């Protein structure tokens, strides 16, 4: 990158406003963590179901080694 004009600090900060920003859950996506938690709970439930079904299937078979 070849910049012919280097900006001074005053030029870079001319549009800066030191006002604090407010958090708005509707704009910032405040419920994404709740969706993730629901998905992780569902995954654990399904994992338990699959494990029980696999154990049930293995009862009839004999393993030879």
User: pLDDT (tens digit, 9 = 90+) per residue, 15-44?
Assistant: 888 888 887 777 777 777 778 889 999 999
Residue reference for tokens 């549009």: 15
CA–CA distances in Å: residue 32 to residues 4, 12, 39, 44: 44, 34, 11, 19
Residue 65's pLDDT band, with cuts at 50, 70 and 90, is low
Q: Rounded to two decimals, what is the model's pTM?
A: 0.43
């Amino acid at each position: 990158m070849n910049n012919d004009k280097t900006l001074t600090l005053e030029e870079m900060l001319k549009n800066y406003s030191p006002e604090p920003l407010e958090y708005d859950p509707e704009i910032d996506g405040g419920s994404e963590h709740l969706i993730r938690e629901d998905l992780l709970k569902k995954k654990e439930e399904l994992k338990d179901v699959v494990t029980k079904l696999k154990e049930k299937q293995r009862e009839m078979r004999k393993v030879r080694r």
